[in-house]
Structure 1
Amino acid sequence: MLLHLRRILAGLLALAAVGVAVLPGEPAVAVAVAAHDLAPGVPLGAADVRVIAVPPSLSPSGAVSERDALGRSLVSAARSGEPLTDARLTSTDPTASSVAVRLSDPGVAGLLRPGSRVDVVGPEATVLATDASVVAVRGGEVVVLSADRPSAHRIAAETLSGPVAVILR
């Protein structure tokens, strides 16, 4: 008798599992992910990005479409299958250039994140760039900034003689 009840219970559990598996869940959304391990700083092409369908509750904040990811570069490496988000991708501005900057106060780097906006000031209180975007923060003293080309050239030239300061916007 006990064996018979166990079989009935096992059958009911199997039926419930099948029912849950075939019941429609929440609608899926398309999320762009890395098609393979990706290095930072390289523009993404069609072979680098693939699209997967995930439930909206599992879609990360800031997830981008395949169209929005193509042509942009990662600010840090991504593993195969990792979702691509706006915080991980550089600007799409074709007139911008990126420049590595050594900061006069390394503690400021801890306050910066990719996407932060800053003004860059040289040693003689010369404003080298306004509204530059932080692309990457490496270590404590060096950050990578994206600015219009003339500003990026001024920043690069000024950093040859020493570190610069940034003002958070």
Structure 2
Amino acid sequence: MPFTPIHMGPGLLIKGLMQSSFSLMIFGWTQIVMDIQPLIVLVTGEGHLHGFSHTYIGATLLAIVSALTGKHLAQFGLWLLDITESIAVNIPWWVVFLSAFIGSFSHVLLDSIMHNDVQPYYPWVLNNPLLELVSVATLHKICLYSGLVGAGIYYFLEWRRENSIKRTQCDK
């Protein structure tokens, strides 16, 4: 995948389906953390492009790191975007960890399908059984369309919730 943004499509779908039980900001932070190792390899020209960070063991460790570092970053980001009234907004830890693990595992899954140097099940399996499960073009379309569907679901449910609140206020 190109760096990080294309991974956000499935994240938008999950956000649309799970609503407040999923943090898109933590998911996005996890995508960035997952791609730090490949970025270092691209900049320095040394190392394995999709190395340990793109295994499920590495993804587990990076999900924990992303959760622990991302919780307060996400809360601060929500405050900066004026999505909450106070900087004391609290994203529950279970939502933080769930979002980080979904982010890291989906990242490995998507990159496993398109990159021949990913070894997702290392050290137990040294090949990549997921490689070319679908074509790269199809994978990009899945990511794009899942993002569009997810955004549609999210905004439809928000619209419905706001109308429900307005009706309740009018009934009083």
Taking structure 2 as the reference length, what is the TM-score of the superposition? Answer: 0.23
Specify which structure has the bigger relative contact order, considering alpha-carbon pairs within 8 angstroms and separated by 6 or more residues. 2
Specify which structure has the higher proportion of helix.
Answer: 2
Specify which structure has the higher proportion of strand.
Answer: 1
